[in-house]
């Protein structure tokens, strides 16, 4: 009887812990959305600046954009794609749009299951962002990209976050941003998964073993795929090394595993997941402030 009484108590404690962690994650994302809405654009401008200099045969000099790129890449190698999971304003916007879309579909259209792309198509669609990155790199290298004005949807988004309306010359960028928002309403992390060139850069980077999310498969429940079903990018930790780079370090797999079989080695040092999350957020905030990504200081 004692054991039966302890199980519900443990489940209740875990449930409370996850509620607090979810609230902390939302707060962290809102803080970064307000303070660093243009961090994505700054990082990718570093990629463009670097490739453009190489294409022109110029000596590689340091500027704010390249330093931001180095900072983001270094942070990703050490802590995984924390930027994608919690910092990037495009990711936060996508999650908000998808949640709102789900609410509308449920309340107004009485749909029990939210519209989304067939899971089998997702791995193929995820490759589009690598093609986009390749094309942008080529255009930068040959000196063409700099002449393409008004095509960038993230430049339009960055301007909107400063409470300014886009220019008339950004019409194509505005249309692309609208199409992306429509896609966000239909699929979790639509832009992050399928279109984000910065996400493609991060996916190529290695992650230090102590920060990589691991699944202890031997203890998994037979037939359970809760982690994959709840993963915004449709992967299971450690299942496919060629897709592990898609992980955005959101930790939804850790939150949803019924047996708590998914973890990261750093939990042996910082056992509390909430403290670990806040710790990484504070480090990123300090780094972002130093690199000038923060809007207010």
pLDDT of the residue at 297: 60
Name 262's bridge partners.
215
Q: Is residue 276 part of a domain?
A: yes
pLDDT of the residue at 184: 96
Q: Is residue 16 part of a domain?
A: yes
How would you class 297 by CB atoms within 10 Å of its CB: exposed for 0-12, middle for 13-18, buried for 19 or more? exposed
* Cβ pair 267, 273 in contact under 8 A: yes
Handedness of CA 28, 39, 262, 128 (dihedral sign): positive
Q: Is residue 236 part of a domain?
A: yes
Q: Is residue 173 part of a domain?
A: yes
Domain that holds residue 150: 2-290
Q: Is residue 295 part of a domain?
A: no
Q: Is residue 82 part of a domain?
A: yes
Q: Is residue 242 part of a domain?
A: yes
> In angstroms, how far is CA 220 from the centroid of its own chain?
26
Q: What is the pLDDT along the chain (297 residues), one digit of tens a residue?
A: 444 455 578 788 888 989 999 999 999 999 999 999 989 889 999 999 999 888 888 877 788 899 999 999 999 999 999 999 999 999 999 999 999 999 999 999 888 888 889 989 999 999 999 999 999 999 999 988 878 888 889 889 988 888 888 888 899 999 999 999 999 999 999 999 999 999 999 999 999 998 988 887 777 888 788 888 899 999 988 777 788 899 999 999 999 888 888 888 887 788 889 999 999 999 999 999 999 998 766
In the chain, the number of structural domains is 1
* Cβ pair 255, 14 in contact under 8 A: no
Helix 171-186 × helix 153-160 angle, to 10°: 90
Q: What is the CA radius of gyration of the chain?
A: 20
pTM summary value = 0.90
Give the closest residue to 225 by CA, choosing from 276, 262, 263.
Answer: 262
Give the closest residue to 22 by CA, choosing from 272, 234, 274, 192.
Answer: 274
Name 214's bridge partners.
263
Q: Is residue 296 part of a domain?
A: no
């Amino acid at each position: 009887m004692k054991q039966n009484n302890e199980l519900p108590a443990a489940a209740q404690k875990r449930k409370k812990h996850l509620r607090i962690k979810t609230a902390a994650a939302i707060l962290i994302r809102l803080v970064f959305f307000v303070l660093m809405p243009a961090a994505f654009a700054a990082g990718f401008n570093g990629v463009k600046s670097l490739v453009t200099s190489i294409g022109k045969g110029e000596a590689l000099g340091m500027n704010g954009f390249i330093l931001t790129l180095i900072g983001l890449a270094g942070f990703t190698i050490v802590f995984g794609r924390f930027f994608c999971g919690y910092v990037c304003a495009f990711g936060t916007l996508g999650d908000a749009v998808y949640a709102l879309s789900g609410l509308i579909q449920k309340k107004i259209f009485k749909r029990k299951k939210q519209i989304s792309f067939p899971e089998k198509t997702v791995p193929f669609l995820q490759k589009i962002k690598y093609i986009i990155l390749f094309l942008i790199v080529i255009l930068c290298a040959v000196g063409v990209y700099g002449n393409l004005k008004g095509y960038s949807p993230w430049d339009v988004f960055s301007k909107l976050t400063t409470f300014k309306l886009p220019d008339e010359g950004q019409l194509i960028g505005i249309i692309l941003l609208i199409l992306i928002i429509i896609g966000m309403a239909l699929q979790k992390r639509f832009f992050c998964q399928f279109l984000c060139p910065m996400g493609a850069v991060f996916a190529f980077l290695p992650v230090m073993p102590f920060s990589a999310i691991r699944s202890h498969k031997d203890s998994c429940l037979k037939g359970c795929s809760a982690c994959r079903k709840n993963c915004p990018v449709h992967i299971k930790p450690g299942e496919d090394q060629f897709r592990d780079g898609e992980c955005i370090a959101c930790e939804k797999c850790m939150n949803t595993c019924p047996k708590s079989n998914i973890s990261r080695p750093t939990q042996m040092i910082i056992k509390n997941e909430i403290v670990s999350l806040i710790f990484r957020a504070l480090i990123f905030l300090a780094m972002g402030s130093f690199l000038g990504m923060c809007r207010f200081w």
